[in-house]
Amino acid sequence: MSLPTARFGRVITAMVTPFDDSGALDLDAAANLAAWLVDNGSDGLVLAGTTGESPVLSDSEEVALAKAVRAAVDVPLLLGTGSNDTNYAVEATRRAAGLGVDGVLVVSPYYNRPPQSGLDHYFRSVAAATDLPVLLYDVPTRTGRKVATATMLRLAHEVDNIVGLKDAAGNPAETARLMRDAPDDFELYSGDDALTLPLLAIGAVGAVSVASHWAGRQIGEMIAAFLRGDHGEAIRINGGLIESYEFAGSDDAPNPMPSKAILRVLGIKVGNCRAPLSFAPDWLEPRAREVLSALA
């Protein structure tokens, strides 16, 4: 049996955005981080996503970030271009075409909670603005609105360059219904590290991961084990990653605070988060050391 394709790779890291001590974008550090991630298990990268602190990046910073990382690594790059403003998302998606990225990751509109008809129009408008592949991103805990399965199926069947979904909806049973009825070449990526193994069981081809900042090789090994039919080994590896999944984000230390903390512990220059996420708790780096020790 042939393995499912994964046009952007099996392990795609939703990369943090490095800042210097003054809070300015650090392009040298971004290039170095991208190269380090690729050397440590990442098949592709997402830039300027939620983990990349997109809400606090300017348009010019996103352009500079994409260009710097493209020059540093030769792996698939996805640029986050979604917004709660359809016109803005369209312009950001048009701009992405000139940056050397391989696709765009488009989150559903957040906060304004549009109806399904509004979501349908939004995704079609964004996809029409580019020839690049479009990966939908459904994360209702952050956006306040679930993209209905019926809406996603219409888009998947009717819009040629909508090629897949990053699923962080937390409902594998519903996603199984989507995958049953989606086109054969529609690719599902886990958008929640803790649900990657369950989503592989219903057809996921890989993960857009946060924990892959420090556990990329292990996540890749888990996915490979599952896909070759060694489910016992996949379960074993997944069990060893549970502390990493739990560390990646919490109410007291939301994503991407923990990723930046653990990278600092590893000696990789990323700086702190920008406000309002800039106030990391004192216990975070000591806990990061414990998580890394548990992986060893």
Would you say 254 and 141 are in contact if contact means Cβ atoms under 8 Å apart? no
Candidates 11, 64, 16, 13; CA nearest to 264 is 16
3-state helix, strand, coil in the chain (%, to 5): 45, 15, 40
Q: How many angstroms separate the CA atoms of 161 and 166, rounded?
A: 15
Taking the C-alpha atoms of 151, 152, 157 and 163 in order, what is their torsion angle to the nearest 10 degrees? 150
Is the preceding omega at residue 276 within 30 degrees of 0, hence cis?
Answer: yes
Question: What phi and psi values does residue 163 have, to the nearest 5 degrees?
Answer: -110, -10
Alpha helix ranges (H) inside the chain? 27-39, 59-72, 86-96, 116-128, 140-143, 149-158, 172-181, 196-200, 212-227, 231-247, 257-265, 284-295
**Residue 136 neighbours by CB distance under 10 Å:** 26
Q: Give kind and range of the element (H or E) at residue 11.
A: strand 11-14
Looking at the chain, the number of H-run helices and the number of E-run strands are 12, 8
* Per annotation, catalytic residue among 122, 137, 189, 245: 137
Strand partners, 34: none
- Using DSSP, state whether 47 is helix, strand or coil: strand
Q: How far is CA 235 from the centre of its chain?
A: 22
Active site residue 137: yes
**Do strands 187-190 and 162-167 pair parallel, antiparallel, or not at all (unpaired)?**
parallel
* Per annotation, catalytic residue among 146, 166, 245, 260: 166
Q: Which residues are catalytic?
A: 137, 166
